[in-house]
A and B are shown apart, each in its own frame.
Chain A
Amino acid sequence: MDYLDQLEAEAIYILREVAGQFEKPALLFSGGKDSITLVHLAEKAFRPGKFPFPLVHIDTGHNFPETIAFRDQLVAGLGEKLIVGYVQDSIDAGKVVEQKGKHASRNALQTVTLLDTIAEHGFDACIGGARRDEEKARAKERIFSVRDEFGQWDPKRQRPELWNIYNGRIQKGENVRVFPISNWTELDVWNYIRREGIKLPSIYFSHERDVITRNGQLMAASEFLNIDHEDVVEYRKVRFRTVGDMTCTAAVPSEAYHIDDIIDEIRLSNISERGARMDDKVSEAAMEDRKKSGYF
C-alpha cells in the first residue's frame, strides 16, 4: 500500500473504533484543513450510513468569515448535525473574562467553552484533527488521550497504547480526545487533499487583504484586532497555512493560488506550520500548558 493509503486506512480504523467504543462521541470541527480532512475520512468510514457523531464547532466569535461560510456550506451538503459552542456565551455568563489590550485574543478562552459544551451534551469522546508533527507536546500524545473530569491532560500518566488496541474505557465525567491523523504530517494532509479533491476555505490560497505586522508576523486587519495609530495597514498578497481565529493566526506572503503551488511552497519552507501561531509563542511550554488545562 502507498503511504497515503496506509494513513487513510489507519484513520478510518480509529474513527470506527470511536463509533464502536463510545456512547456519545463528537467530532471537533474548526473549519481548518485538518478537521475538513477528518470529515472526509468520516465519510469514508461510515457512508452510506450517517455519522455516529455530530460535528462540534467552538466559535470564538473572531473567526474568519470565509471559514464560517465554508462550514455552513459543508454541513448543509453533508446532512449531518452541527453543534456550535459560543465563546461569547461563556463571556456573557461571566465564566471567562475577555483579555484586554493590544494583543488580546480569545484563543485561551475557548478551552472553557469547549469543556462546557462537552459537559452540556455529555460527550465521552471528542475527535480532533491534531497531528504529532505540529508541536513537541503534541508529539507525545496518544491516539486515545484520556482527560480527567476537569478536562485535563496528564502527560506523566498516559496509558500505555499497544499495537492498534485503543483503550477507551473511562469513568463518568472523564472524556477521551481521539486523534485519527496523529501520524500525518502537514505535507501528507496536503497531498491527501490533492489526491481526494477535498475542498477548502479560500483563505488557504493566495489572496489580497489588509494586514498589519505584529511581532514580525502578518496579522489580518479586522474589527477583532486592536489596531492603533502605531500600526501600519498594508494591502498584501498572502495566504494562511493554519486557520485558528483572526487574532492568533498569522498569514504568510504567498503566490500559491493552487494546491500544487501550496505543496511546492511547503516543501521549500523553512518555517513550520505552527510558526504562524501566536498562541504557541507565549512560552516554551505554551501548548503543553494549554493541553493540561483542557485544550485539544
Chain B
Amino acid sequence: MDILKFFTAGSVDDGKSTLIGRLLYDTNSVLDDQLEAIRRANRKNNDGTLDLAILTDGLKAEREQGITIDVAYKYFQTEERKFIIADTPGHIQYTRNMVTGASNADLAIILIDARKGVVEQTRRHSFIVSLLAIPNVLVCVNKMDMVDYDHSVFDKVKDDYERLTESLNIRQVDYIPVSALKGDNIVNRSANMPWFTGSPLLRFLETIPISQAVETAKARFPVQWVIRPQTDELHDYRGYAGRVIGGSFRVGDPVVAMPSGFGSVIKRIELASDDLNVAENGASVVIHLTDDIDISRGDILVKQGEQPAVSRQFEAEICWMDAKSLDPSQIYLLQHHGKTTKVKVQDVIYRIDMQTLEKSSGSEFGLNDIGKIQFKSADPLAMDPYTANKANGGAILIDSRNNLTVAALMITKLD
C-alpha cells in the first residue's frame, strides 16, 4: 500500500474544512467519541446538520473565529491507499502555514466557490502550487448546490482556471464539481449532476498515480551523522548515516563527496543490521566507503559523473514568511540539509504582483511576498535546481537574531 499526501487550498469560507470533514465522515474515519465531541460542542450548520469543519479546526482560536489558522494533519485510509491530508489555512494572513502544508504534498486540491469563481486567493494559491512544483492539481468547484448544480457554472470556472494556469508551471489539472456540505461527488457519484462523467473525489484520490519524478532525479545522499562506535570490536567502524533523496545508490558505485570533491566507492550499505545491495529513494541507511576521507554532517554523497554545481553565488525563487520584512543589508542564515551558512542578498531580481502575477522591480519583501533574489553565501553549496531535485533544491532562510524561519527558497540557478 502507498501513501498519497495532499493538501487543500481555497479562500476563507470556500468550505475546505467541511470538505475534509466530509471525506473523513463518509469513509467512516470519524469515531464515535470524536462525533460525540462535535455534538457536545454543538456547532450546527444552518440546516441543522453537524458542522464537520470542527473535525479539523483543532485550536480554540480557530473554533472561536470559524477559520483555519494553522495546518492540521489528518489521516485516513481505504482499501486502496493511505492518505495524509494537510488542511491548510485559506486566510491571506496565514499563507506561510499553507506553504508549510503544501511543501510535502503530491497533490493540491484547490477549492473554488461556484458562486464566486476564480478569485485573488485562487491565483495566489495556484501560484504557490506552481512555485513549489506540486505534481498534480485537482480543482474542486464547491457549493454546486447553491447554483442549482448548473453545468454552465462549472464550465465557466474550468475555462477561467485553464486560462490562469497558462502562465504557470502546472502540468496536470483535473476538475470535479462537488458540494462538500451535501456530499455530492465526494464518495458517491452525485445524482444531481448527471452531466459530470468523471470520478467522484474519493475514487480520484484512490487512483491518481503518485509522481515518481524524484526517482528519476540524480542520486543525492546528504550525510546527517557519522556513526563511529570506537569500541574494541568496532574500532574501525565508520558509517555515514543519512537519507537518499532522488535516485538510488548501489554497493560498488563510485561516489564523490560534495563540496570537497573527494572520490571513493560504496563498500557497504546498511539498514539497522541488515546489509542492502541498493538504497532506494527515500531510504534512511548507513553507507560505508572504501576510503577514509573527510566527510561530516552537511556533506553530500553523489555518484561519480553526476556532481551538482558548487557555488557561493546562486539565484532562488523566494516566499517571504515573516512579519518583519526582508532587510537586504542584513546577513541571514541559510539551512540546506545538514548545512547552515551565512548568506546575503546580492540583488533583488524581481517581485511578483499577486494581483496581476506580473513581475515588478520592487525590493520590498514583506509577509507572503514572492519573487526572485540573487544570494551570496559564506560557504560553497552543492545544490540542484529545485525543479531537477526538489529535495536538494529547497532551502530555508533563518533570521539569526530570533532564529525564526523567514523564507522558503527554491534554487533556480547556481553561478
Q: Do A and B bind each other?
A: yes
Q: Which residues of A contact B (CB under 8 A)?
A: 1-3, 5-6, 8-10, 12-13, 16-17, 19-20, 43-50, 52, 132-133, 135-140, 142, 155-156, 158-165, 167, 169-171, 182-183, 185, 269-272, 275, 284-285, 288
Can you list 28 residue pairs at the A/B interface with Cβ under 8 Å? A9-B282, A9-B284, A13-B243, A16-B224, A44-B271, A47-B227, A48-B227, A48-B229, A133-B74, A136-B58, A139-B74, A140-B59, A140-B70, A159-B405, A160-B96, A160-B97, A160-B99, A160-B100, A161-B405, A162-B99, A162-B100, A162-B394, A162-B408, A163-B103, A169-B333, A185-B75, A271-B31, A284-B60
B-chain residues with CB within 8 Å of residue A46 when the two chains form the complex: 225, 227, 241
| Residue in B72, B225, B228 whose CB lies within 8 Å of A19 | B225
- Bound Cα distance A275, B36 (Å): 10
> How would residues 4 to 22 of chain B score, 1 for a CB under 8 Å from any chain A CB and 0 otherwise?
0000000000000000000
A275 vs B41: C-alpha distance when bound (angstroms): 16
B72 close to A139 (CB less than 8 A): yes
Using A9-B283, A47-B273, A162-B396 as known contacts, list a sample of 14 further A-B pairs with CB atoms less than 8 Å apart, ordered by residue number in A: A1-B282, A3-B3, A5-B283, A6-B282, A13-B224, A16-B284, A49-B227, A50-B229, A136-B58, A139-B58, A158-B97, A160-B408, A165-B337, A167-B396
CA distance A249 to B186 in the complex (A): 37
Q: Which residues of A contact B404 (CB under 8 A)?
A: 159
A239 to B84, CA, bound (A): 29
Partner of A3, one of B2, B73, B99, B103: B2
Q: How near does chain B come to A50, taking the closest CB pair, in angstroms?
A: 7
B208 within 8 A of A: no
For B97, list chain A residues within 8 Å (CB): 158, 160
A144 to chain B, nearest CB (A): 10
Contact status B58-A288, CB under 8 Å: yes
Q: How far is the CA of A142 from the CA of B297 in the complex (A)?
A: 23
- How long is the Cα–Cα vector from A49 to B297 in the complex, in angstroms? 16
Complex: A24 Cα to B228 Cα, angstroms: 18
Let me know if A45 and B241 touch, CB within 8 A.
yes
Interface SS majority for chain B = mixed
Given the interface pairs A139-B74, A271-B31, A272-B31, the reply to whether A20 lies near B338 with Cβ below 8 Å is yes
B242 within 8 A of A: yes
Q: Is the CB of A165 within 8 A of B1?
A: no
Name the residue on A nearest B400 (C-beta).
A169
Specify which chain B residues have a CB less than 8 angstroms from the CB of A2 in the assembled complex: 1-2
Contacts of B336 in A (CB 8 A): 165
Closest chain-B Cβ to A70's Cβ sits at a distance in Å of 22
B311 adjacent to chain A (CB < 8 Å): no
Is residue B372 contacting chain A, with contact meaning CB distance below 8 A?
Answer: no
Task: Give the residue name and chain of the A residue nearest to B404 (CB).
Answer: A159
B395 within 8 A of A: yes
Q: Which of A43, A50, A52, A272 contacts B272 (CB 8 A)?
A: A43
A139 near B37: Cβ-Cβ < 8 Å: no
Are A183 and B99 in contact, with the CB atoms below 8 A?
A: no
| Nearest-Cβ distance from residue A205 to partner chain B, whole angstroms | 22
A220 to B206, CA, bound (A): 42
B284 contact from A13, A133, A156, A288, Cβ within 8 A: A13
Bits for B74-96, please: 1 = Cβ < 8 Å to A, else 0. 11010000101000000000001
Also in contact, A49 and B59, with CB within 8 A (given A155-B70, A156-B69, A160-B405): no
B40 neighbours in A (Cβ, 8 Å)? 284
- A44 to B241 CA separation, bound complex (whole angstroms): 10
The answer to the question of B329 belonging to the interface, with a C-beta cut-off of 8 Å to chain A, is no
Interface residue B237 (Cβ < 8 Å from any Cβ of A): yes
Q: Are B284 and A272 in contact (CB under 8 A)?
A: no
Contacts of A43 in B (CB 8 A): 272
Binary A-proximity of B333-369 (CB < 8 A = 1, otherwise 0): 1011110000000000000000000000000000000
B37 CB contacts on chain A under 8 angstroms: 284
Assuming the contacts A162-B394, A162-B396, asked whether A285 and B73 have C-beta atoms less than 8 A apart, the reply is no
Given A140-B72, A167-B335, answer yes or no on A20-B297 (Cβ-Cβ < 8 Å): yes
Q: Which residues of A contact B374 (CB under 8 A)?
A: none
B145: interface (CB < 8 Å): no
Give residues 386-402 of B contacting A (CB, 8 Å): 390-391, 394-396, 398, 402
Q: How far is the CA of A207 from the CA of B111 in the complex (A)?
A: 50
**In the complex, which of the residues B32, B338, B405 has the most CB atoms of chain A within 10 Å of its own CB atom?**
B405
A12 / chain B contacts, CB cutoff of 8 Å: 243, 284
Q: Which residues of A contact B403 (CB under 8 A)?
A: 167, 169-171
Instruction: Report how far A275 CA is from B336 CA in the complex, Å.
Output: 41
B187 to chain A, nearest CB (A): 19
Cβ of B321 < 8 Å from any Cβ of A? yes
Q: In the bound complex, how far is the Cα of B318 from the Cα of A124, in angstroms?
A: 30
Task: Kindly state the separation between the CA atoms of A163 and B97 in the bound complex, as whole angstroms.
Answer: 13
Residues of B208-243 contacting chain A, CB below 8 A = 224-225, 227-229, 234, 237, 241-243
Return B94 CB to nearest CB of chain A, in Å: 10
Q: B165 at interface (Cβ–Cβ under 8 A)?
A: no
A20-B224, A20-B338, A140-B71 known; A161+B100 contact, CB < 8 A: yes
**A207 to nearest B CB, angstroms?**
24
Q: Does B277 contact A (CB under 8 A)?
A: no
Taking CB atoms, residues of chain A closer than 8 Å to B337 are 165
Decide: A140 and B58 in contact? CB cutoff 8 A: yes
